[in-house]
Amino acid sequence: MATVLVIGASRGIGLEFVRQYLAAGDRVIATARDEAALARLREFGAEALRVDVADPASVSGLAWALDGEALDVALYVAGVIERGDAKTPPTREAFDGVMHTNVLGAMQAMPQVLPAVEAARGVFGVLSSGMSQIGEVSGSGAWLYRVSKAALNMAVASARHSYPAATCVALDPGWVQTDMGGASAPLSAENSVADLRRALASITPEDNGRFIHRDGRRATTW
């Protein structure tokens, strides 16, 4: 039985990770920021922690909550999107909201979580996006989101050097039917997460710092 941490598990891909790992017989610790979501996680059978990733003080409590744990898999799934292309400058409020959740939250969580991942010689993954890949930009749609996920990739590529006993990766879930992805997306959360779990199970220490697609393909460039 593996011990799995899912940060940002109130809905969508995060909640589906919780469901599937529990169904596989694993122990799951999951975070959400409101009581309704925490209650739902407990009903599923997860150990629920209240964490608001946009609040550094809240994220800092993870180190205490995880004291003595050894995490086989830890996932930072929390994320928000701001739509709009490069013809419209982002407002300060939009920039702060996206960057706080997608980047700062992850960078605050890494020092709290990665020692527990190292204890199990486990895998730490952040949910990135194919839209983050600078070498494959097809347009400027959701450009603030693209920028935030590219920054998140750099955070992972950097952090791996400070926590060599953990394997740190950025994960591309594909275009998924969630509140963020919309109903027209080709992938269900169930199928995306099933693929991601297979990809995570295939990860070796040689993958440290890599960008990995849901089907297991390792990107050759960021």
How confident is the model over 54-65, as pLDDT tens digits? 999 999 999 999
Predicted TM-score (pTM) of the model is: 0.94
Beta-ladder partners of 30: 6, 48
pLDDT above 90 for 43? yes
At 108, is the secondary structure helix, strand, or coil?
helix
Q: Where are the beta strands (DSSP E) in the chain?
A: 3-7, 27-32, 47-50, 73-76, 123-127, 167-172, 211-213
Reported as a single tens digit per residue, the pLDDT across 194-221 is 999 999 999 999 999 999 999 999 987 7
Structural tokens at position 51: 């964490």
Reported as a single tens digit per residue, the pLDDT across 77-91 is 999 988 888 898 999
For residue 222, tell me if it sits in a domain.
no
Mean pLDDT score, 5-32: 97
For residue 190, tell me if it sits in a domain.
yes
For residue 148, tell me if it sits in a domain.
yes
Reported as a single tens digit per residue, the pLDDT across 91-132 is 999 999 999 999 999 999 999 999 999 999 999 999 998 767
pLDDT number for residue 40? 97
For residue 11, tell me if it sits in a domain.
yes
CATH at 159: 3.40.50.720
Mean pLDDT of the chain: 93
Q: Rounded distance, CA 189 to CA 220, Å?
A: 26
Structural domain range at position 209: 3-213
Structural tokens at position 149: 């996920």
- Total domains present in the chain: 1
For residue 221, tell me if it sits in a domain.
no
For residue 20, tell me if it sits in a domain.
yes
**Is 32:38 a contact under the CB 8 Å cutoff?**
yes
- What percent of the chain clears pLDDT 70, i.e. is strictly above it? 98
What's 218's DSSP letter?
B
For residue 12, tell me if it sits in a domain.
yes
- What percent of the chain clears pLDDT 90, i.e. is strictly above it? 82
